[in-house]
Structure 1
Amino acid sequence: MVCEINHQLHERSSSSVGLEKVKYLLTKTGIPSSVTSPLESLQKGNWVKLICGASFEDVVDIRNLSLVYTLAGVDCIDCASEASVINAVNDGIESAKAIIPIRRPWVMVSVNDDEDLHFRKAEFDPENCPVDCSRPCERICPANAISYTGKAGLPKVHLISYILQGGVLAERCYGCGRCLPICPYEKIRASTYVRDAAATAELLKQDGVDAIEIHTNGRKVESFQELWNSLGDSIEKLRLVAVSLPDTNELTIPVMHSIYATMNANLRCHNLWQLDGRPMSGDIGRGATRQAITFALHISAARDRPKGFLQLAGGNNAYTVDGLKKEGLFKTTSLPEKLNDEATPFNSSYSSDALIGGVAFGSYARKIVGKVLSSLQMEHGYVDIEAYPEYLLEALTESLALVGTVKCFP
């Protein structure tokens, strides 16, 4: 018994020392978000959003990702419109704030008005797979969502839940589609869905949700109108409404005007246009961000575009800001005075020098921290990352390097 108590005291002492190292790193880095509101970041042009994934629902990973990126200084965390996921995000945020005083990032939920790549899951029946298949799907999946041995290959003893649905761990699949063309037997299919508007409206009325993002393909404006009308008065308490749309060339600006006309009648907060260049591809490499930058060039140059902040998404990674700088799009500004996101009206005449309000990081952000989480899970199971500060320090170092490309950490 004495040996067990001494071991526990040693673990607590190690944990305390480890968290002090985390605090030192954060203090040394100088987190701008500790004093900068999300709205001010948008206006300065150094807003950073973490995309957990509109279909990603692994609440343990989401909770730890939210904690790490809150400490790293993101302004917004975008997640699936599910109560358990929202709770996981807020738990991660509050746990980060318990480590070091820091302002709370906005929590955003994602919904869709029609079929969208972000709202689908891969499916297949492993019983129909040939026994000699080399399983390329399992190797290519960036989310470790395909497994024949358990969740991410972990032994069952470490799992909170053991869910194997058709060879795909449904809560981890976020619909990237990379497994679809690689199956040599064409046995993998995609199942698409549309988030329920009524359920989303109820979630928006609850505390802990600050923003909504509506994914639209731009082909059916009436679908957007139907969803917007279904949300009703649930949008009144929100701080931000974002619309994510693809580049449809000469049709993009007219579509944006139609969407803005629909929203404007009862929009009581700021709005943002998410320019989705190459969805879910940021972890592929340097070239993945080109489509988002090209899209941003097109929209930022359009003088007749409707009101709203511009934010890049789809293919963003550590090379994004360099690409924006080369095109003259990444410009930050010092505001004349500190803005208060509660007091500044959404129709303020304030104009910053920032052409682009900010950048959203999704698959790449999850990948660089996910490798740390995978190591943690293999060693200790599905646990809170701050219980093992050496892992938190490693994950935080990765996230700070990425967020810092936009935040311009000293």
Structure 2
Amino acid sequence: MAWSFFCSSAICPQHQVNVTFGCKNSLQNVKNLIKSIGIRSKSCSPNESLRKGNWVKLICGASFEDVVDIRNLSLVYTLAGVDCIDCAADPSVVSAVNEGIETAREIVPIRRPWVMISVNDDEDLHFRKAEFDPKNCPSDCSRPCEIVCPANAIFFERETATVEVPFGTNRTGESKMQGGVMTERCYGCGRCFPVCPYDKIREVTYVRDAMAAAELLKMKDVDAVEIHTSGRQTHLFGELWDELRDAIRYLRLVAVSLPDNGDATISSMNEMYAIMEPHLSCFNLWQLDGRPMSGDIGRGATRESIAFAVRLAASRERPPGFLQLAGGTNAHTVDGLKKRGLFQTHITSGAPKQLHSLIGGIAYGGYARKIVGRVLSSMHSQHGLTSIEHHPEHLLEALKEALYLVGTVKSYNPVVTQQ
């Protein structure tokens, strides 16, 4: 059996190729795959991708802190050609992202995606964790929380106590549950809260330390910041901006992630832009967070993000800045944008007149992690916690999954068949 790889592009048919791999997957197969597709990110800068409307961002998660998975995800999606990798504002996480990027670039000389850290100005769904004490869980519980967790962050083990009794004999006591939530893997999706039949799971929210984030922004391997805000209390946004302001000059991009607040959305965006503009020396971007952390649920999860984009794209009152979708984005998002005439639709603006896309691009979070995460889980079950480049057969499989997703935006659409 051999692998046949066919790459098609609706925009550039001259890049169609047909490459056959042997039975043995190797690191050379990975190099051949990337070379055969002609990934444009070898030469196309992230800001150029925004203008063309084929920007792709990987969201590792504002609260996801599993550095092994983050490193491997960053490696795979760098090879797939993403423009930006968004992660938690934590030094160890940033280091893991950059290690994954640089390892990818040692495999193939591809350009470096921007590294973005996420902060928040108030309580936010993306900045929370689930928490519970498994010892309080009844032993006969069916553990639905463990089943619904998309991050595999909840686990249980039985602990049976052995009690010594008189005359030198032992008696086995009652078994208790242990384990619980792996904090570094929980990214706050909240799906476990409503399914607990005993209401044992608590929500723990937090706000990232602004001063610590400002120091991270000054590092040479951090390129961008994303501020998560509700958009309802712009004074909180202003307070956070004041704390970050001196570090903004080190950046290539400032993003603001906000939900759809209906008629109030545009006015709050303009208020926030007025706060940023005097000290904004780089590009700015508005992340339209349709249905947070839901892209892995199914096809319909992307509807709210697309509807949000339709409203914002039609507004003439919105402030300057690229528009990018998030929240519920998955493999169906591009098709949804195409149906609404928003995918890589170019407009003329600015002085001098410049062409740029109405929608700059798409950020993928839960769905992107899910499709590659299946490969990572299989690799870890076979080999333990390890770096994916040490197991090229898994790297090749993960890269194919990533290329399917990134390719819907970048206009390379690989299809794998067996011969």
Write the deviation string for residues 136-190 of structure 1: whole angstroms up to 9, x where unpaired.
Answer: 000110000001149xxxxxxxxxxxxx997100000000000000000011111
**Quick one: which of 370, 377, 383 aligns to 1:380?**
383
**Pair 348,50 (structure 1): closer, same or farther in 2 beyond 3 Å:** farther
**Pair 350,185 (structure 1): closer, same or farther in 2 beyond 3 Å:** farther
Does residue 328 in structure 1 map to residue 328 in structure 2? no
Secondary structure in 2 matching 1:404: helix
**Alignment partners' CA distance in 1, 2:388 and 2:66:** 15
Identify the residue that residue 119 of structure 1 maps to in structure 2: 127
Secondary structure in 1 matching 2:192: coil
Does residue 173 in structure 1 map to residue 176 in structure 2? no
Q: 1:352 deviation in Å?
A: 2.4
Q: 1:231 deviation in Å?
A: 1.1
Task: Summarize the alignment of residues 302-341 of structure 1 with structure 2, pairs less than 5 Å apart.
Answer: 302-331=315-344
Identify the residue that residue 206 of structure 1 maps to in structure 2: 219
**Alignment partners' CA distance in 2, 1:207 and 1:88:** 15
Does residue 85 in structure 1 map to residue 93 in structure 2? yes
**Pair 165,60 (structure 1): closer, same or farther in 2 beyond 3 Å:** farther
**Alignment partners' CA distance in 2, 1:204 and 1:381:** 33
**Pair 334,257 (structure 1): closer, same or farther in 2 beyond 3 Å:** closer
**Pair 332,298 (structure 1): closer, same or farther in 2 beyond 3 Å:** closer
**Quick one: which of 288, 307, 310 aligns to 1:297?**
310
Q: 1:219 deviation in Å?
A: 1.4
**Pair 131,198 (structure 1): closer, same or farther in 2 beyond 3 Å:** same
Letter in structure 2 aligned against 1:18: S
Residues 74, 101 of structure 2: 8 Å contact kept? yes
Q: Highest CA radius of gyration, 1 or 2?
A: 2
Does residue 68 in structure 1 map to residue 68 in structure 2? no
**Alignment partners' CA distance in 2, 1:377 and 1:353:** 43
TM-score computed with the length of structure 2 as normaliser? 0.86
**Alignment partners' CA distance in 1, 2:351 and 2:284:** 12
Q: 1:334 deviation in Å?
A: 12
**Quick one: which of 49, 53, 61 aligns to 1:53?**
61
Identify the residue that residue 361 of structure 1 maps to in structure 2: 364
**Alignment partners' CA distance in 1, 2:116 and 2:85:** 6
Write the deviation string for residues 391-410 of structure 1: whole angstroms up to 9, x where unpaired.
Answer: 00000000000000000016
Q: 1:299 deviation in Å?
A: 0.5
Letter in structure 2 aligned against 1:319: H
Letter in structure 2 aligned against 1:367: K
Secondary structure in 1 matching 2:195: coil
**Alignment partners' CA distance in 1, 2:259 and 2:351:** 28
Residues 151, 186 of structure 2: 8 Å contact kept? yes
Identify the residue that residue 155 of structure 2 maps to in structure 1: 147
Q: 1:349 deviation in Å?
A: 4.4
Flag structure 2 segments of 5+ consecutive residues without an equivalent: 1-21, 159-176, 414-419
Secondary structure in 2 matching 1:49: strand
Identify the residue that residue 339 of structure 1 maps to in structure 2: none
Secondary structure in 2 matching 1:148: strand
Does residue 32 in structure 1 map to residue 40 in structure 2? yes
Residues 123, 166 of structure 1: 8 Å contact kept? no
Letter in structure 2 aligned against 1:366: R
Task: Summarize the alignment of residues 252-291 of structure 1 with structure 2, pairs less than 5 Å apart.
Answer: 252-291=265-304
**Quick one: which of 375, 391, 395 aligns to 1:392?**
395
TM-score computed with the length of structure 1 as normaliser? 0.88
How many residues matched?
A: 372
Write the deviation string for residues 74-111 of structure 1: whole angstroms up to 9, x where unpaired.
Answer: 00000000000000000000000000010000000000
Residues 25, 396 of structure 2: 8 Å contact kept? no
**Quick one: which of 99, 103, 116 aligns to 2:107?**
99
Identify the residue that residue 164 of structure 2 maps to in structure 1: none
Going by fraction, where is strand more abundant, 1 or 2? Answer: 2
Q: 1:28 deviation in Å?
A: 1.1
Secondary structure in 2 matching 1:194: coil
**Alignment partners' CA distance in 2, 1:99 and 1:270:** 30
**Quick one: which of 45, 50, 53 aligns to 1:42?**
50
Flag structure 1 segments of 5+ consecutive residues without an equivalent: 1-13, 151-163, 336-346
Residues 57, 80 of structure 1: 8 Å contact kept? yes
**Alignment partners' CA distance in 2, 1:94 and 1:45:** 26
Secondary structure in 2 matching 1:195: coil
Secondary structure in 2 matching 1:298: helix
Letter in structure 1 aligned against 2:38: G
**Quick one: which of 136, 144, 162 aligns to 1:128?**
136
**Pair 353,373 (structure 1): closer, same or farther in 2 beyond 3 Å:** same
Secondary structure in 2 matching 1:323: helix
Secondary structure in 2 matching 1:43: helix
Residues 111, 195 of structure 1: 8 Å contact kept? yes
Identify the residue that residue 108 of structure 1 maps to in structure 2: 116
**Alignment partners' CA distance in 2, 1:381 and 1:349:** 56
Residues 157, 178 of structure 2: 8 Å contact kept? no
Identify the residue that residue 221 of structure 1 maps to in structure 2: 234
Letter in structure 2 aligned against 1:229: D
**Alignment partners' CA distance in 2, 1:76 and 1:246:** 21
Secondary structure in 2 matching 1:265: helix
Residues 134, 178 of structure 2: 8 Å contact kept? no
Residues 64, 92 of structure 1: 8 Å contact kept? yes
Residues 124, 166 of structure 1: 8 Å contact kept? no
CA-based RMSD: 1.9
**Alignment partners' CA distance in 2, 1:386 and 1:326:** 38
